[in-house]
Amino acid sequence: KFTRYPFVEYEVLDIEKDPAAQGFAPHAFDLIIASLVLHATENLHTTVRHVRSLWIAGAVALNERGARRAISPAFTARAAASA
């Protein structure tokens, strides 16, 4: 479906586990997109810590929760600030 965007890399990440242990470099991502996943994890505090471990300075995280079918970065930003 997204093959026409060769500059984008797609990987599977289990956000409940340490991203570095899965081969993801710390602080190497400037955009993280999550759809219907972050709120469903066992421990949201750990999940947010893992997301934050991936961000570079000034990164954007888009978290779509499905309530209005709109992307809402505010949830992730608030959760990260309180972590």
pLDDT one-digit tens code per residue, 66-75? 555 444 444 4
Three-state DSSP class for residue 22: helix
pLDDT band at 1 (very low <50, low <70, confident <90, very high): low
Q: How far is the C-alpha of 32 from the C-alpha of 52, rounded, in Å? A: 10
Q: How far is the C-alpha of 46 from the C-alpha of 79, rounded, in Å? A: 11
* pTM across the whole model: 0.67
- Contact by Cβ (8 Å): 24, 13: yes
pLDDT one-digit tens code per residue, 7-62? 877 788 899 999 999 999 999 988 887 777 888 889 989 998 998 899 888 877 67
Give ∠ CA 47-50-51 in degrees, rounded to 5: 90
Nearest residue to 38 via CA among 9, 70, 62, 69:
62
